[in-house]
Structure 1
Amino acid sequence: MNAFTWKHFEAHMILMAVRWYLRYSLRYRDTVEWLEERGVRVAHTTIMR
C-alpha cells in the first residue's frame, strides 16, 4: 500500500519536508519557508498533518 495515496503533493516533497522538520528541529512555519524558497506553496497545517 502506498502511504502517499490521495495526497496533494508528490511523495519526494512530503519526505523532504518531514526530513527537514525532524533533522533540524524546525517549527512547521520554518519548514514552510524552506519549501517556499524552492517554489512549493504549502500551509504549515499541511505539514503538521
Structure 2
Amino acid sequence: MNYFRYKQFNKDVITVAVGYYLRYALSYRDISEILRERGVNVHHSTVYRWVQEYAPILYQIWKKNIKKPITNGVLMRRTSK
C-alpha cells in the first residue's frame, strides 16, 4: 500500500522524521530543526502529525520484517558449571 499518497513531503522525509522521534526520542521541535538544517522547512506540529499517523504503521512493518531466532524446538543446556 502507498501510505504516503497525496502528501506534500517526500516519503523519505516523513520516514526520517518519524525514525528520529522513535529511535532517538527527540522533541518535535528538535526534529524540525534538524530537518531545517538539511534544507527541509517543516513545522514541529507537522512532525507531530506524522508521528501520530505513521509510527504505528512503521512499527507493524518492522514487526513483520524482523527475523525470529531459529530454535528447531531444541532447548539449550549449560555445558559448564
- Identity score, percent: 53
Point out 4+ residue stretches in structure 1 off by more than 2 angstroms: none
Q: Please provide the CA RMSD for this pair.
A: 0.6
Paired with 1:27 and 1:39, the residues of 2 have a C-alpha distance of 19
Aligned length: 49
Give the number of the structure whose alpha-carbon radius of gyration is greater: 2
Paired with 2:30 and 2:21, the residues of 1 have a C-alpha distance of 8
| Unmatched tracts of structure 2, length 5 or more | 50-81
Q: Which residue of 2 aligns with 1:26?
A: 26
| Unmatched tracts of structure 1, length 5 or more | none
Paired with 2:48 and 2:5, the residues of 1 have a C-alpha distance of 18
Higher relative contact order (CA 8 A, sep 6+): 1
